[in-house]
Amino acid sequence: MRKRTNRGLTFPPEVLSREEVMALMDACAESPAGARNRALIVVLYRTGLRITEALALEPKDLDLEGGAVRVLRGKGGRSRTVGIDPGAAAVVGEWLAVREAWVAEDRSRAAAVFCQRDGRRLESSYIRVLVPRLSGKAGIEKRVHAHGLRHTHAAELRAEGVDIGIISKQLGHRCISTTARYLDHIMPMAVVEAIRGRLWT
């Protein structure tokens, strides 16, 4: 969960603000590929899926009206169903409409939700280059990477008071203790604020 630099140093993950995520989305081009990239950012941010899980999605896995996303190829081969909010579902729906007209006529290759013009599935390496590039374009000074959108999702759920059991299921963790460690790692300021609020008597 820590980012390793070229010098071998490690840094704790940085959670993005909602405004920073919106800036990432705004930095996407006004094109079919840009609509796809916005939808992908939204899925990573509002469902907390891992990159590989998002890229493995097929249209049949999405129930946007019902607010559900089926993850059939999760970590360790486990499947689960996660939630997606109506606002995020609308952005994904916009991409699916664009995708229908954009993908090449040979649709036999266009199985993935997030595909290229010729129908081929996006590679995770593309996303790992895309997100830092968009953050630079948006003027975000934090270290921004695709997995950080998953961190942001988890941090927002915790801040909203969502039960840790629900967060654990959403993230696809095996047990709640894993989720507790995950949240403590990405939100160390919760500890700082708790101690900072003590009165000197």
What is the CATH number for 168?
1.10.443.10
User: Rounded to an integer, what distance in angstroms lies between the CA atom of residue 71 and that of residue 157?
Assistant: 19
**Does any domain span residue 201?**
no
If you average pLDDT over residues 98-122, what whole number do you get?
Answer: 82
Residue 188 has pLDDT above 80, yes or no: no
Residue 12 has pLDDT above 60, yes or no: no
Total number of domains constituting the chain: 1
Which domain covers residue 35, as residue numbers? 3-196
Q: Which long-range contacts (CB under 8 A, 24 or more apart) does 79-83 make?
A: 80/169, 80/172, 82/47, 82/48, 82/49, 82/169, 82/170, 82/172, 83/47, 83/170
If you average pLDDT over residues 136-145, what whole number do you get?
Answer: 91
Q: Are 112 and 56 in contact (CB under 8 A)?
A: yes
Q: What percent of the chain lies above the pLDDT cut of 70?
A: 84
If you average pLDDT over residues 138-164, what whole number do you get?
Answer: 89
- Among 75-84, 119-128, 187-196, the range scoring the smallest mean pLDDT is 187-196
If you average pLDDT over residues 43-67, what whole number do you get?
Answer: 95
Q: Which residues are catalytic?
A: 50, 75, 147, 150, 173, 182
**Does any domain span residue 76?**
yes
